Structure 1
Amino acid sequence: MDGRRSRLVLLCGLPGAGKTTVAKKLERELCAVRLCPDEWLTELGFSLFDSEARDRVERRLWQHAQDLLASGAVVILENGFWQRPERDEKRLRARALGAGVELRYLKVPMAELERRIALRNREPGSVVLTTELLGECWSQFEAPTPAELDLFDPPLSWTTRGERPSQPLRGEPPRT
């Protein structure tokens, strides 16, 4: 590594919030390793709705993320992190490894999520997500509070060479 401190970036948001888009941009800008459970599930031939397979993949990716953090890497996890206990667990474990930890909360209104999901549903080969299922996701989601966001490090907004990115990073939580 180049002497920089390892860092864990958690992307928090519902389906359609833009987690993968933000993660891919950060992957390039931060020279990070991006770990996306949905991509792994799809590549391994599992349904995105297979909760047992999802649990196994997410546990394995978390172990891999910890190994990468211990070696000094920047790691992006785009699990969604819908519940505070999971966010707390990842933050505390990464800090125990000496890593910085940031939470990127992608807050998107329901109407916009529905619009994005409808567009995604029209793409060939996409997994169809119904409005009803999106509503269920919304009801299970525990948005981070300002107090919780303060427990995380401020987002990195520069490349590894110290240059400013050409565009402001999207998906950063508003800091009050």
Structure 2
Amino acid sequence: MNKLYIFCGIPFSGKTTIAKKLEEKLGYIRIDLDDVKFSLFGNDILDEKIDKQGWDKVYQKMYKQIEDNLKNDKTVINDTGNFTKHERDLVKEIADKLGLETIEVFIDTPTEIARQRLLENKKIKKRFDVSENDFNSTVSEFEPPEDNNVITYKHPQPIEDWIIENFQT
């Protein structure tokens, strides 16, 4: 049966890396807020250049993609920061409305490891940048999941091993 996996973790914790592995190995549909944002505003858009109406449009499009895929019997990964319980609850409502199971996936990477990745990314520009201020504020505001239905990836566990332990392969 299809379900919704809601990823959460601080920036540069490895959410997208792990979500892409699940997408590749298990055929899950990965819906990434950043991909939706870039599809609407172009790949060079900076978060601070998007106003409230623009962000509302991004989130509504993402929610619709999640709902449409769940309705089509697809298992969906919401590959977004989901830094607060409120953000995760908004996504969870989509699956609840359809009577589907939701599992939160907490990517638990130490802040210093994530910060090293942020600094490395500033040099090699493998992905879009996050300002030091945004990184710090997100880290301080992050609310780890406390629900019962949570799978936790704990850095530095090998991703392949973690997938075998936690997902039907």
What's the TM-score bracket when you normalise by the shorter of the two chains? 0.7 to 0.9
Aligned to 1:7: 3
Identity rate, percent: 24
Alignment check: 8 A CA contact 1:37 1:54 kept: no
Aligned in 2, Cα 1:125/1:86: closer, same or farther, shift over 3 Å? closer
Pairs aligned (count): 154
Residues 104-149 of structure 1: CA deviation (Å, up to 9, x unaligned): 101122211110101111124753323332111112211112xx1x
Provide the residue aligned with 1:167 in structure 2.
160
Q: Is the 8 A contact 1:6 1:98 kept in 2?
A: no
TM alignment of 1:48-127, pairs within 5 A: 48-49=47-48, 50=50, 52=52, 53-124=54-125, 126-127=127-128
Question: Structure 1 regions of 5+ residues with no counterpart?
Answer: 156-165
- Provide the C-alpha distance between the structure 1 equivalents of 2:120 and 2:63, rounded to a whole number of angstroms: 30
Report the residue type matching 2:6 in the other structure. L
- 1:71/1:127 CA distance change after superposition, 3 Å: closer
- Distance in 2 (alpha carbons) for counterparts of 1:92 and 1:22: 23
CA-based RMSD of the aligned residues comes to 2.5
| Distance in 1 (alpha carbons) for counterparts of 2:29 and 2:116 | 29
Q: Does the aligned pair in 1 maintain the 2:106–2:151 contact within 8 Å?
A: no
Cα pair 1:100 1:153 within 8 Å, conserved = no
Bigger helix share: 2
Alignment gaps of 5+ in structure 2: 153-158
